[in-house]
Structure 1
Amino acid sequence: MIWERLKTWFGGGPHEEAVFHEEWIEVLKKNVPLYARLPEDLRQRLHGRIAQFIATIRFEGCGGLELTEEMILTVAAQACLLVLRREGRPYPKLSAVYIYPTTFSSVRKQTDAHGIVTEGNVRRLGESSGWGTVVLAWDSVVQGARYMDDGDNVTFHEFAHQLDHEDGPTDGAPALPSGAAYRKWSRVFHENYADFLQRTEEGTEKVLDAYGATNPAEFFAVATETFFERPQQLFEERPEMFGELSRFYHLDPRGWWQEN
């Protein structure tokens, strides 16, 4: 299997010193153009994070999809951008990534005001679970990565949910280092979420996708997409929220977008 070959390659030595084949770098340049905008030190660090990700996470093709190195590297690179500055395993609670060729069906449970639970199939581009899996539609992965400045990236979105899962409830607040950090995050995101809901209802929101109005968890995931793909716009519209995301990810993507 393609994944087993990559896993064997990356599993044999220090991930920080992972040497990428030139064809893998070309895949990243083609499919993840944000990669080419990274400073050289961050590109090298990303190689190591990708190596560790592939060595520790299982990949499976679904719906008749035959996995390729291109698919695995494209997903891994984007997932690892979110944890570029993290030490240790990139996603310690994640066990598997499942990739479908296109949109897939998923069962959604809903509870109404009377407590009655109903189930139904919905079509999805991606899905993240708290028990350690991410499911993605390959065509959406590619589109989200290649159109890197539209704030719409399903891989960033679902892996942001994984980060949100790590401290327990999926509530829009990922694991933070202290009580003071949680309090600051809560205040900033609560204020921005309330403002975002109002602007979305009025049709005046300029930066964040309306899907973020679904709930605070989706707001965090949408904000993450925008932070990496439209950082300058997010900074100008919501500077405090940008600051919280920058501290959480230990990155400031604004510099990546400056013309060379």
Structure 2
Amino acid sequence: MTFILLTMLLMLGIGLLFWLPKFRLQRAIARPFPRHYAQILRMNVPVFTKMPADLQLQLKRLIQQFLHQKKFVGCDGLTITDEIRVTIAGKACLLLLNRATRVYPDLAFILVYPSAFIVPRSEVAAGGLVTRRNDALLGESWSDDRVILAWDHVKRSNADLGVGHEVGHDVVLHEFAHQLDSESGSTNGAPYLMSRARYERWSAVFLQEFALLQEAARHQSVSVIDHYGATNPAEFFAVATEAFFEKSVALGQEHPALFAALREYYCVDPREWQ
């Protein structure tokens, strides 16, 4: 009898371990969206006001899940505020609309610096010569459950984010595109696409567009896609994502096949949010 009781208690305990996180998440998502959160979105993610009501509701729920599951850490004396949390969560969750997602499941921490942060780099040249340098970065996505962002650059791009217009870069969209890219198992410019046929279509379009951007970068030709994307396929996917959300009309006109591939992946058409 004692053994049976202990077994039942153990099973109950295991059940609670699985049930409690799910219950807490459901409770967090079900809470009313705070009014000041909506004000932050209208101010710092202005595209929110141009979305249809169903997408606005989706975005709010995704933000609540993001804020419930991810820990924000202020670095170099930065105090984390609701403005920082909601702004970053709002932009990151733009990439998840209309898609079945666990909301960046491998991501646990968002480290936020007041401005550009220094990352040490080491390069090993032929012959074993090691060169060390310090790079000043505005954002970085790491494979060990972290994204790092410079808040002043996040804020600077807030005013720029206007779908369909010629605007600047967005470090949040860029770094969270890298997070999506890594969900396939490697960060190589091909996110998780679910089927072989979709990977084949993706590869055909992206290889051609990547080669075109490399050519444009070599000749310093004007491009709606940032030349930084010519660095490697992973960076190409990240800057193409920025262009898709920030320069949707121009991208659709100048690179229709690339726009169509991104629209199929992201399940939205930002040109409609005008």
Instruction: Calculate the TM-score normalised by the size of structure 2.
Output: 0.86
Hey, what does 2:202 align to over in structure 1?
185
**Alpha-carbon offset, residue 99 of structure 1:** 0.3
Amino acid at match of 1:110: E
Instruction: Calculate the TM-score normalised by the size of structure 1.
Output: 0.90
Hey, what does 1:29 align to over in structure 2?
42
Structure 2 residue 264 is the aligned partner of structure 1 residue 247: yes
Q: Is the alpha carbon distance of 1:54 and 1:88 closer, same or farther for their aligned partners in structure 2, counting shifts above 3 Å?
A: same
Q: Is the alpha carbon distance of 1:112 and 1:54 closer, same or farther for their aligned partners in structure 2, counting shifts above 3 Å?
A: same
Superposed CA deviations along residues 96-121 of structure 1, whole A, max 9, x for unmatched, are 10000000001223343556553321
Unpaired runs of 5+ residues, structure 2, are: 1-22
Match of 1:158 among 175, 198, 209: 175
Percent identity (aligned): 43
Hey, what does 1:199 align to over in structure 2?
216
**Alpha-carbon offset, residue 145 of structure 1:** 2.3
Cα distance in 2 for residues equivalent to 1:179 and 1:111: 36
Look up the SS of the partner of 2:169 in the other structure.
coil
Structure 2 residue 87 is the aligned partner of structure 1 residue 74: yes
Contact 2:25 2:68 in 1 (8 A): no
**Alpha-carbon offset, residue 136 of structure 1:** 0.2
**Alpha-carbon offset, residue 177 of structure 1:** 1.0
Cα distance in 2 for residues equivalent to 1:114 and 1:210: 31
The CA RMSD over aligned residues, in Å, is 1.7
Structure 1 stretch 226-235 or stretch 80-89: which is displaced more?
80-89
Amino acid at match of 1:166: E
**Alpha-carbon offset, residue 155 of structure 1:** 0.2
Cα distance in 2 for residues equivalent to 1:124 and 1:139: 12
**Alpha-carbon offset, residue 209 of structure 1:** 1.1
Q: Is the alpha carbon distance of 1:122 and 1:183 closer, same or farther for their aligned partners in structure 2, counting shifts above 3 Å?
A: same
Look up the SS of the partner of 1:240 in the other structure.
helix
Q: Is the alpha carbon distance of 1:18 and 1:207 closer, same or farther for their aligned partners in structure 2, counting shifts above 3 Å?
A: farther
Look up the SS of the partner of 1:122 in the other structure.
strand
Superposed CA deviations along residues 204-254 of structure 1, whole A, max 9, x for unmatched, are 233011111111111110000110011010011111111111111111111
Structure 1 stretch 172-181 or stretch 107-116: which is displaced more?
107-116
Hey, what does 1:236 align to over in structure 2?
253
Cα distance in 2 for residues equivalent to 1:245 and 1:89: 20
Match of 2:193 among 157, 173, 176: 176
Hey, what does 1:125 align to over in structure 2?
138
Structure 2 residue 63 is the aligned partner of structure 1 residue 59: no
**Alpha-carbon offset, residue 196 of structure 1:** 1.0
Structure 1 stretch 240-249 or stretch 196-205: which is displaced more?
196-205
Cα distance in 2 for residues equivalent to 1:210 and 1:115: 31
Amino acid at match of 2:228: Y
Cα distance in 1 for residues equivalent to 2:54 and 2:31: 13
Hey, what does 1:5 align to over in structure 2?
none
Structure 2 residue 128 is the aligned partner of structure 1 residue 147: no
Moved over 6 A (4+): none
Contact 2:216 2:227 in 1 (8 A): no
**Alpha-carbon offset, residue 255 of structure 1:** 0.5
**Alpha-carbon offset, residue 33 of structure 1:** 0.9
Amino acid at match of 2:104: Y
Q: Is the alpha carbon distance of 1:118 and 1:235 closer, same or farther for their aligned partners in structure 2, counting shifts above 3 Å?
A: same
